[in-house]
Structure 1
Amino acid sequence: MSKSAFSLMGNARDELAKRFLNRKTQQEAQDSQQAQIRPGQQWSHISDNFCRFDKHPGFEKIMVPQAAANRLGLANPFFKSHDGVASATTQIAGRTFINFSSYNYLGLSGHPKINKAAKDAIDRYGTSTSASRLVAGERPVQRELEEALAELHDVEDCVVFVSGHATNVSTIGYLFGPKDLVIHDALVHNSVLEGIKLSGAARRSFAHNDCLALDTLLSEIRGQFERVLVVVEGLYSMDGDIPDLPRLIDIKTRHKAFLMVDVAHSLGVLGQTGRGIAEHYGISSKAVDIWMGTLSKTLASCGGYIAGTQALIQNLKYSAPGFVYSVGIAPTLAACALEAIKIMLAEPERVARLRERGSQFLALAKQHGVDTGLSQGFAVTPAIIKSSLKAAVLSNRLFEQGLNVQPIIYPAVEERAARLRFFISSLHTEAQLRTAVELLTNG
């Protein structure tokens, strides 16, 4: 090798050594500088508001009304501990109360046949499937429930989720995206709103049960989007009224939109046999694209479901995150809901009695001058108090007299719409309804 080549190699070696030493010196300087900084000193400009949960705006918002209640000596009306089955009556702190704060519409929670179905399922399957159904496989009772729900709605198929709230969030969040639009009734449930947020779709609302406003809105903006979804409830749990389903079907058909109906509070309540709002109006369930329901109310269990075409259900079963990445519904819960469906269909007198009791309560309340808002007397009737403070005070006063009914206060509703909310069960007696109205109006 020539001298010039050796010289070039030497120069390169020297240059690399120099760079290494420079890097080492810089790193040592940085390490020395870091050592002089006290732990956390580099973040001293960040407010404690961002690293303490007692400074979280949500927590502070909660504490404001609680502090006011404490100053006024008001007991917290929420999170009372119940002992035993909560139905037309309930046990709290050793006392029996007439209960109007349960969704146990047909009195099936605690039914001996449903309890037995739960125990048998535990003996056969244990208490959990322990993984998602894609991973752990199916249990026969899970599919039996889905088939029963599909038959109940007279549609092709159904898929069951472990949470009612998550059913709406995951379904809407997965099926729709940024190029789509979701239009909803102004009083629709929080789970729908959260699903829309997750989807990234555009969101519009229309005035409660105002089909003309919906039709007008779609006429103006439908062409700006690809898929459009209209979401309503079968029975509104805050106000106790129902939508005009035949007209909604006409509107969604003319505007080439999907229609989703949340029947959480209308299953078991509407229709001669409790099949819900489609049966109530005498129309085909197939005219609605997405039926959403819950298992925790009439069906005495826990979870949610989507029913519709096979294409819809297969899409959700293989791709919706809330199903794919979630544990499958516990066999014991599936067994409870399945047995509840059988009892509801075998004993239509429960539905008839609920309808009678709901009408009686609404009539009694109106006779006594109670502002019942929009209620149609199906199973939910509010008593509009128009003040959160007055609603909380009245709820506590009624509790002292043996009546359990929860206040709905701001921000859950507008301040002028603060209320007590009465949920009726088929197990309530007419005497209990009369007592409730008398205590309410004399309180």
Structure 2
Amino acid sequence: MGMSEQIRKQLAAAALKRHLERVSGAVQVHGEGTAVNATARTGAAAGGAWDARARFEAMPLYRQVSLIRQMGDTLRVSSPFFRVHEGSAGATTRIGGREYINFANYNYLGLSGDPFVTAQAKDAIDRYGTSASASRMVAGERVVQRELEQALARLYGTDDCVAFVSGHATNVTVIGALFGQGDLIVHDALAHNSIVQGAQLSGAKRLSFAHNDWRELDALLARVRHEFRNVLVVIEGLYSMDGDLPDLVRFVEIRRRHGVFLMVDEAHSLGVLGAAGRGIREHSGVASGDVDLWMGTMSKTLAGCGGFIAGCQPLVDMLRHLAPGFLYSVGLAPALAAGSLAALNRMLAEPERVATLQARGRQFLREARAAGLDTGTSAGYAVVPVITRSSLKAAQWANALFEEGINVQPIFYPAVEERAARLRFFICSTHKPEQITHAVDALARIAKR
């Protein structure tokens, strides 16, 4: 790259950042209603007040979408999002008739598309049809729905389990239903959006602590615990953005010391951590009862769709009868329940899948670091980011890799801070060692251009 080209790109990046900051500021103003109301008042004088307000283009959400599009135009890179896959996606995928090495999916143990899992889902369709057709309280139970919940309860060593049709909705409806005014919800600063949304819905006071910093949480609770009736602490078993994990033993100690409820989101740790894939409980050696709410999803290791909460019987009874996301939502489709149950049984019967996944994750982390790539705080379990510290680089590197037959998604501003822009690699047990080496070598070469 010539000096003039380097200067041009540096200037473009600087201009982009200033532009995004301006637009982001405008979004915040509109979020407060100031600019929109001003527009409405102006429109009122002209006789078109309500027409001016009833426009989707004036909504803050649309302005955020516009921001993303403007960023792509400014960077002069094509969008890497919403590419159409032409079959089952795992270690490889087909896009536009071409096969790619795929690092953009959560099929951690290769069970989505597994013949046994697929056959069980097809049998369930033949027996139950494609939908539960109504909420389970209205339409009743299907045997396979309860079989899945009971298997998950056995996995976690809990009294019972309840399954929901969405992982995101599981956190939102459970946290929102169980806690309210007079309560406190404290979560990791990097908690998933669903946790934050659930806390906001609940009406409880919401605080956060520095990522994985159990000492800060301990000090926070020492100061404020006495001010609240119920306190919920929410952490994740494996953080999907950074690929690191908490010291669960320390959080369990804090739970006991301060008398709080502890919830662990195992969306990305089930099937990934522990010798048999039983998650962070197995990895950390804690007892089942040391955590009050075990949350997980069926859309990753379990090759289906939906979420679940495993815990004591009073907890599950409350959720089955009163959680809006269960009570007023259609029941989990029987085919999805059957597929996830088959995937769970397959995982437990074939622990070598978990061992292979962990080996592939360690390989990627080791080779990426040896190549001088910044992998942040990743522990090498299925999720490995490569920090670019530039939205421009993240977009360019992702597109350059795509041209070389490697599919990986960038994460850039405003989803993360500019300095935290990255590529995020998801590793599967079905990735071959040579595929990982090829991807790391290609990325290292691209990064040096």
TM-score (norm 1): 0.89
Alignment of structure 1 residues 257-296 onto 2, 5 Å = 257-296=260-299
Q: 1:130 aligns with which of 126, 130, 133?
A: 133
Q: Give the Cα–Cα distance (whole angstroms) in 1 for the partners of residues 245 and 417 of structure 2.
A: 20
Note the C-alpha offset of 1:179.
Answer: 0.6
Identity among equivalent positions (%) equals 60
Q: Give the Cα–Cα distance (whole angstroms) in 2 for the partners of residues 274 and 426 of structure 1.
A: 12
Q: Give the Cα–Cα distance (whole angstroms) in 1 for the partners of residues 116 and 156 of structure 2.
A: 23
- Aligned partner of 2:347 in structure 1 is 344
- Aligned partner of 2:84 in structure 1 is 81
SS at match of 1:179: coil
Distance 1:289 1:72, change over 3 A: closer
Note the C-alpha offset of 1:55.
Answer: 2.1
- Aligned partner of 2:440 in structure 1 is 437
- Aligned partner of 1:181 in structure 2 is 184
Q: Give the Cα–Cα distance (whole angstroms) in 1 for the partners of residues 410 and 321 of structure 2.
A: 41
Runs of 4+ displaced beyond 4 Å: 40-43
Note the C-alpha offset of 1:273.
Answer: 0.4
Q: 1:231 aligns with which of 234, 238, 259?
A: 234
Q: What are the superposed Cα offsets for residues 240-278 of structure 1, whole Å, 9 maximum, x if unpaired? A: 000010110000111000000000000000000000000
Contact 1:48 / 1:55 at 8 angstroms: preserved in 2? no
- 2:159 is equivalent to residue 159 of structure 1: no
Contact 2:133 / 2:139 at 8 angstroms: preserved in 1? yes
Give the stretch that moved more between structures: 43-52 or 95-104: 43-52
Contact 2:44 / 2:50 at 8 angstroms: preserved in 1? no
Q: Give the Cα–Cα distance (whole angstroms) in 1 for the partners of residues 416 and 283 of structure 2.
A: 28
Contact 2:111 / 2:302 at 8 angstroms: preserved in 1? yes
- 2:330 is equivalent to residue 320 of structure 1: no
Q: 1:400 aligns with which of 400, 403, 416?
A: 403
- Aligned partner of 1:60 in structure 2 is 63
SS at match of 1:413: coil
Give the length in aligned residue pairs.
404
Q: Give the Cα–Cα distance (whole angstroms) in 1 for the partners of residues 44 and 424 of structure 2.
A: 52
Q: Give the Cα–Cα distance (whole angstroms) in 2 for the partners of residues 331 and 69 of structure 1.
A: 41
- 2:101 is equivalent to residue 101 of structure 1: no
- Aligned partner of 2:218 in structure 1 is 215
Q: Give the Cα–Cα distance (whole angstroms) in 2 for the partners of residues 72 and 293 of structure 1.
A: 37
- Aligned partner of 1:428 in structure 2 is 431
- Aligned partner of 2:14 in structure 1 is none
Q: What are the superposed Cα offsets for residues 109-129 of structure 1, whole Å, 9 maximum, x if unpaired? A: 000001100110000000011
Q: 2:377 aligns with which of 374, 381, 386?
A: 374
SS at match of 1:83: coil
Note the C-alpha offset of 1:48.
Answer: 4.8
- 2:311 is equivalent to residue 303 of structure 1: no
- Aligned partner of 1:116 in structure 2 is 119
Q: Give the Cα–Cα distance (whole angstroms) in 1 for the partners of residues 143 and 325 of structure 2.
A: 21
Q: Give the Cα–Cα distance (whole angstroms) in 2 for the partners of residues 396 and 49 of structure 1.
A: 39
Q: Give the Cα–Cα distance (whole angstroms) in 1 for the partners of residues 286 and 116 of structure 2.
A: 32
Distance 1:43 1:106, change over 3 A: farther
Note the C-alpha offset of 1:45.
Answer: 5.9
Q: Give the Cα–Cα distance (whole angstroms) in 1 for the partners of residues 44 and 159 of structure 2.
A: 62
Give the stretch that moved more between structures: 233-242 or 281-290: 281-290
Q: Partner amino acid for 2:160? A: D
TM-score (norm 2): 0.88
For the pair shown, the structure with the greater C-alpha radius of gyration is 1
Q: What are the superposed Cα offsets for residues 187-236 of structure 1, whole Å, 9 maximum, x if unpaired? A: 00000000011100000000000000000000000000000000000000
Q: Give the Cα–Cα distance (whole angstroms) in 1 for the partners of residues 285 and 239 of structure 2.
A: 20
SS at match of 2:379: coil
Note the C-alpha offset of 1:412.
Answer: 1.6
SS at match of 1:381: strand
SS at match of 2:151: helix
- 2:39 is equivalent to residue 46 of structure 1: no
Note the C-alpha offset of 1:43.
Answer: 9.2
Q: Give the Cα–Cα distance (whole angstroms) in 1 for the partners of residues 195 and 237 of structure 2.
A: 14
Q: Give the Cα–Cα distance (whole angstroms) in 1 for the partners of residues 169 and 445 of structure 2.
A: 41
SS at match of 2:49: coil
Q: 1:147 aligns with which of 136, 150, 164?
A: 150
Runs (5+) with no aligned partner, structure 2? 1-42
Distance 1:71 1:249, change over 3 A: closer
Q: Give the Cα–Cα distance (whole angstroms) in 2 for the partners of residues 137 and 42 of structure 1.
A: 57
Contact 2:360 / 2:431 at 8 angstroms: preserved in 1? yes
Q: What are the superposed Cα offsets for residues 379-398 of structure 1, whole Å, 9 maximum, x if unpaired? A: 10000000112101110111
Q: Give the Cα–Cα distance (whole angstroms) in 2 for the partners of residues 198 and 330 of structure 1.
A: 26
SS at match of 1:134: helix
- Quote the RMSD (CA, aligned, Å): 1.3
Note the C-alpha offset of 1:74.
Answer: 1.1
Distance 1:48 1:417, change over 3 A: farther
- 2:347 is equivalent to residue 362 of structure 1: no
Note the C-alpha offset of 1:63.
Answer: 1.3
Contact 1:49 / 1:56 at 8 angstroms: preserved in 2? no
Distance 1:129 1:72, change over 3 A: same
Q: What are the superposed Cα offsets for residues 339-390 of structure 1, whole Å, 9 maximum, x if unpaired? A: 0011000000000000100001000000000000000001100000001121
Contact 2:75 / 2:392 at 8 angstroms: preserved in 1? no
